[in-house]
Structure 1
């Protein structure tokens, strides 16, 4: 586990998508609420993994649909880049 901070994480999401961090919850849908398509989700994933310097298994990314799922995937399964 990587011990990521939820408030900091959702601020990074907010900065990337331009939605107020106060409006982002674990159940915020990346497609319907943040208006991302699959390419946008890929861009967000790249932004977040670069920010935290963590890799996540691409095989698990296809099933993601909420911000909380991204957070838990990165927190639970993220491995340090280059390590």
Structure 2
């Protein structure tokens, strides 16, 4: 299990979508609140896994719809790349 911090995670998402960190909560909907489509979710996943040096199954990312669900995927299923993190 990875030791990610939700506050830092929310800041990274806010930076990616150009919003204030305070607007990103676990229940924030990726599609309706952040206006991300499936390609945008894939791009955000690449961005986040790059920051945290993790590999995550694409199939797990494809089924999330909330920020908290995406965070949980990285925490529970993220595998460190090259022994990092």
**Aligned-partner Cα distance in 1 for 2:34–2:23:** 10
Distance 2:57 2:40 in 1: 18
Structure 2 CA distance, aligned partners of 1:23 and 1:50?
Answer: 23
Residue 37 (structure 2) aligns with: 37
Tell me if 1:54 matches 2:54.
yes
CA RMSD in angstroms, aligned pairs only? 0.9
Aligned position for 2:15: 15
Give the Cα separation in 1 of the matches to 2:61 and 2:14: 20
4+ runs of 1 displaced by more than 4 Å?
Answer: none
Q: Which runs of 5+ in 2 are unaligned?
A: none
TM normalised by structure 2 equals 0.93
